[in-house]
Amino acid sequence: MRYAILSDVHGNLEALRAVLADAVPRTDGVLCLGDSVGYGADPGACVELLDARARAIVAGNHEHGVAGLLDLDWFNRWARAAAEWTRERLHDDQRAWLGALPLTKDVEDATLVHASPEAPDEWEYLVTPEEGWAAFSHFATRWCFVGHSHVPGAWSLGSSGPDFEPRPRVVTAEAGRRYIVNVGSVGQPRDRDPRAAYGVWDVEAGRVELRRVTYDVQAARDKIVAAGLPRFLADRLATGT
Ligand code: ZN
C-alpha cells in the first residue's frame, strides 16, 4: 500500500491538481494533514477535491479558524484576512465539513496530525530537532506525519539515539526506530523552493519519499490578486517563503 500524504494545500488548486496528477501513478490512496484552506483563492474547489479523493483528513488551524472553532486573533494579519475571506466564500455545508474533521487519525501504523501530537489543538510548531524529539512520547504508532510549518523534515528516535534530517528526500525506516515526518506544503512551500511538496509513503517498504512538483505558480498568484487577497500571499508563492 502506498499513500500520497498531502498537507497545507491552502486553497491552491493549481498546486493540488499538479500533486494529485504526480501521485496517481505512484500511490493507492491519499491522506491529508489539514490546512486545506486559507491563503489561496480556491478554498471551495480544494475542499471538494480533497473530500472526494482523500481516505483520511485531519483538521488544521485554518479549518478551525474558518469553522469558528479558533479565534481569528490567534492568526497574523495575512492569515486573518485570508480566513475571513475564505469563511465568506465557503458554503455552510463546507464550513460544517471543515469543523467536523478530527484532530488526529491513525492509518496503518501512522498517526496523522496537523501540528504536534502532544496537544493537537494548541497548534505548536515542530521545527527544531528538540521540538520533534519531545513529541515522540505523545503517539504510539511507528510513524507520525505532520505539516503546519510548511518545511519538510524528519525526526527519529531509537536505541541508537535521536536523529533529525532537514529537507530529506527519502526516509527509510530502520529496525527499532520511530519517525516523525513533515511532508512540507502543497500550496504554500516555505523552504525557498516554490515547487509543491508532498510525501509518498510505502507502508510495506517502510519508506517515505518527499517529492517536489512544479505547477502553474503564476496562475495561482493571479487568482489571489484578482480575489483582493493580500498581495503578499501571491508574491510568497513565487519565492517559496
Ligand atoms: Zn498551513
* Residues 81, 82, 86, 89, CA torsion sign: positive
| pLDDT value of position 153 | 98
How many separate domains does the chain show? Answer: 1
pLDDT in tens, 14-65: 999 999 999 999 999 999 999 999 999 999 999 999 999 999 999 999 999 9
Nine cell digits for residue 77: 494579519
Listed residue (227, 236, 233) closest to 78, CA to CA: 233
Query: What pTM value is reported for the model?
Result: 0.97
Where are any strands of DSSP class E within 203-237? 207-213
Distance in Å, CA 148 to ligand 1 centroid: 5
| pLDDT value of position 39 | 96
Distance in Å, CA 8 to ligand 1 centroid: 5
231-239 vs 217-226: helix axis angle to the nearest 10? 170
Distance in Å, CA 240 to ligand 1 centroid: 13
pLDDT in tens, 194-235: 999 999 999 999 999 999 999 999 999 999 999 999 999 999
Instruction: Name residue 213's beta-bridge partners.
Output: 196
Distance in Å, CA 175 to ligand 1 centroid: 32
Distance in Å, CA 161 to ligand 1 centroid: 30
Residues flanking ion ligand 1, Cβ below 5 Å = 8, 35
Domain with residue 184: its CATH number is: 3.60.21.10
- Terminal-to-terminal C-alpha distance of the chain: 33
Nine cell digits for residue 10: 491552502
pLDDT in tens, 61-107: 999 999 999 999 999 999 999 999 999 999 999 999 999 999 999 99
| pLDDT value of position 95 | 95
| pLDDT value of position 105 | 98
Residue 104 lies in domain: 2-239
Query: Based on the number of CB atoms within 10 Å of its own CB, is 86 exposed (0-12), middle (13-18) or buried (19 or more)?
Result: buried
| pLDDT value of position 100 | 97
| pLDDT value of position 90 | 96
With cut-offs at 50, 70 and 90, classify the pLDDT of residue 120: very high
| pLDDT value of position 157 | 98
Distance in Å, CA 122 to ligand 1 centroid: 14
Distance in Å, CA 10 to ligand 1 centroid: 7
Distance in Å, CA 176 to ligand 1 centroid: 31
| pLDDT value of position 58 | 98
Distance in Å, CA 22 to ligand 1 centroid: 21
pLDDT in tens, 164-185: 999 999 999 999 999 999 999 9
